[in-house]
A and B are shown apart, each in its own frame.
Chain A
Amino acid sequence: MLEILIQGLLLSGLYALIAVGFTLIFSVGRVLNLAYGSYIMIAGYVYFYFSQLLGLPPIVGLLLAGILGSCMGLLKYNLIVKPLKGDHIPVEISTLILAVILQSAIILYFGNSAKILLPIFQGVIHIGNATVTYNVLAATLVSWLILIVLFVFIRKTHVGRAMQAVSMDSKGASISGVNINKINMFTWGISGFLGAIAGVFFASYTQLSPSMWVAPLIIAIAIVIVGGIGSIIGTLVVAHIIGFMEIISVALISPQLRGVFTMLLVIIVLIIRPKGLFGREEL
């Protein structure tokens, strides 16, 4: 029981970290950024290049990945989202095309074979029957830290409240003097940064491969859909629902149905409560 609790918490933390950047864009910009998984993939490869191949300290690799992710976010906003005027479907299609392009670019440069990232933090501790790597523990702590900072930021700061306003009613916000463009830019930048940080942790836990963007994208989509747009609390809670569901199905039921349960949950929630479990009133 203890190990399920520990492993569940750790996996959920990682999932929350993956989903939070995606939530931001979906809430503020109201578009599904289907190239979100690419932040995760590219960040993993950037970290691999700088820290594993060139041997720079992990923190430098992590920061470089974050900065690059942030730049990608800004570029995406300026070159794709803005010209398409934020129209949902065209943005979704374009970001999907972009994700496929980035996948080919990675194959071209790094080849098709999967690679393993060294853990950012080495070592393990044993708690009961469960073994915990420092790396995943760090991912979970970072995830909690980011969620708390983001939550406070959105509640307490000027920019955060403006983001909230745009998320609820962008026309209204614009009338009351919020610079929508700036808020959007800011959100895309932050989202890219968070996606990249999540990417380095995700990759260091699993592997690097040119198709690795699909799995975290699906996790992020599932969490955001089930949680409901616009809810950081929702993201956190649902990341835990999905994380624990996964651990429980693997540990007690049937590991091969791991993905099926998540898919079913998404379909059922979408049909029964399209708004998601946590409505959409607050960010």
Chain B
Amino acid sequence: MGLGLKWYHFALWIGFIIFMLLMPEMVSKGTLRTIIFANFLAIFAISWDILSGRTGYISFGHPFLIGIGAYTTAILTKRFDVGVEYAIPLAIAMTMIGGTIMFLPALRIKGSYFALVSLAFMELMYQLVQVIRPDLTGGTRGMSGLVTLTRGAVNGYYLSFTIMIIVALSMWLLMRTRLGTALSAIALNEESVKGSGLSPTKLKLFAFMTSAFVAGLGGAFYVHYLGSIAPRALFDINFVFTIIVATLIGGASTIVGPMFGAFFLTFLLEYLRPYLPGAERYLIYGVIALLLYMYQPKGLYQIMINQFNRFKKDEDDG
């Protein structure tokens, strides 16, 4: 297929999947609950990575997309008694429309400016959700008692892991195609992309659509896992912050990296809980994130590759 796949790629993926499938046998339910959040964060981080890690269009307003997906399905199921089997696809479609809206400014601006416009999108959404039709959106308090797809930690775990791994694997494969490589080229030089006969605009639109698809999918399943939704929890700078930091700590533009980053951050926070129950936890968490990022802006993925190479070198030398 020309994707540059090696035997160890298969071995690593299969090993990872088996390990994760056995997880409920090995760990407590509390830990499983933590992994569920990590799975969802991984989906959001991958969605962010497709758009921002690749093309260089940094989105500070990703919850705008996730929120459209989450709110669409929440409103449809709660207020109009639509079944989830219809509500979730509709939510994803709505999110892709949201992705198109977010794409429009990207035709003219990029870099820090685009980041700010996306932030403005999120802020605007935050205000609109609360003001327009609070009878539908639940206003400031949001909605509770939404349909949940699973009960219990184990089921929730399997569902979230399945979605996450499908998203991760398909995006990982997609990014290894010519299309994926071309996307990365946009970040470096749009002119050269043009020179090679591809349309940068179409490529960009593709990135926005794919990212929105994943965000909508993740957002919709997330809300049906939580069973509740609130504007303050979604359209929040801290949420953006977690998604971006997960991606960068893991390693932007690698798909696998954001997955690692999401797991690392979620576990870091949960394991600090018994020792530092209060605000100290976030201080330590932030400091670790900042130091890691300053140490290696390319993330854990790069650190692991470096370690692996050094390890291999040791082996060869010895």
Contact = CB atoms under 8 A, between A and B. Distances in A.
- Direct contact between A and B judged by beta carbons closer than 8 A: yes
B109 A274 contact: yes
A168 to B, nearest CB: 18
Contacts of A172: none
Given A93-B244, A96-B241, A266-B116, 7 more contacts: A32-B115, A84-B294, A94-B290, A96-B244, A267-B120, A271-B117, A274-B108
Interface string B144-164: 000000000000000000000
Contacts of A105: 283
B177 interface: no
B279 A93 contact: no
A32 B237 CA distance: 16
B238 interface: yes
B109 A260 contact: no
Interface string B104-120: 11001101110111001
A175 interface: no
A278 to B, nearest CB: 15
Contact of B286 (A100, A256, A266, A270): A100
A108 B276 CA distance: 12
Interface residues on A, range: 35 or more
Contact of A93 (B108, B131, B248, B286): B248
B303 interface: no
B58 interface: yes
Contacts of B278: 108
Interface in B277-318: 278-280, 282-283, 286-287, 289-290, 293-294, 297
7 contacts: A84-B297, A93-B248, A101-B287, A104-B282, A104-B283, A260-B124, A267-B105
A146 to B, nearest CB: 25
Contacts of A83: 294
Nearest to B105: A271
Nearest to B117: A270
A101 B116 contact: no
Contacts of A260: 124, 127
Contacts of A218: 123
B183 interface: no
A139 to B, nearest CB: 25
Contact of B293 (A93, A221, A263, A270): A93
Contacts of A274: 108-109, 113
Contacts of B58: 89, 92
Contacts of A10: none
A90 B116 CA distance: 15
A88 interface: yes
Interface in A264-280: 264, 266-267, 270-271, 274
A270 B289 CA distance: 31
Interface string A217-229: 0100100010000
A194 to B, nearest CB: 21
Interface string B235-261: 001100100110010000000000000
Nearest to B115: A92
A241 interface: no
Interface string A249-268: 00000001001100110110
B113 A259 contact: no
A221 B56 CA distance: 20
A274 B282 CA distance: 36
Contacts of B109: 270-271, 274
Interface in B208-244: 237-238, 241, 244
A88 B111 contact: yes
